[in-house]
Amino acid sequence: MLRNGFPRMSPSISPLIMSTSGYVAVGNEPFLQTYNGTFLSTTLPALQNIQSALIKAGLSSQVKVTVPMNADVYESANSLPSGGDFRQDIHEYMLPIVKLLSDTGSPFTVNIYPFISLYIDSNFPAEYAFFDGNASPVNDGGTYYYNMLDANLDTLVHTLQKNGFGNMPIIIGEIGWPTDGDRNANMEYARRFNQGFMSRIAGGKGTPLRPGPIDAYLFSLIDEDAKSIDPGNFERHWGIFTYDGQPKYLLNLGTTNSGRLLPARGIQYQENKWCVMRPNARLDDPSVAASVSYACSLADCTKLGYGTSCGTLDGKGNISYAFNSYFQINNQLDEACKFPNLSMIVKTNPSQGTCRFDVMIQPYYGGADGRLPKQLGLVAAFALFLLTFL
Cα R_g (the chain), whole angstroms: 24
Decide if 29 is catalytic. yes
Alpha helix (H) ranges present in 69-147? 91-103, 114-120
* 69-70 vs 108-111, strand pairing mode: parallel
230 vs 214: CA distance, rounded Å:
30
In 3-state terms, what secondary structure has residue 69? Answer: strand
Residue 149 near residue 82 (C-beta atoms within 8 A): no
* 138-140 vs 215-218, strand pairing mode: unpaired
The residues pairing with 19 across neighbouring beta strands, listed in sequence order, are: 24
Residue 236 near residue 225 (C-beta atoms within 8 A): yes
* Helix, strand, coil percentages, rounded to 5, for the chain: 35, 15, 55
Catalytic residue among 29, 92, 127, 188: 29
Q: Choose among 163, 170, 164: nearest CA to 209.
A: 170
Contacts of 132 (CB under 8 A, 6+ apart): 192, 196
Decide if 335 is catalytic. no
Catalytic residue among 75, 174, 188, 271: 174
- Concatenating the DSSP letter of every residue in 305-361 gives STTSTTTT--HHHHHHHHHHHHHHHTTT-GGGG--TTTEEEESS---BTTB----PB
Active site residues: 29, 174
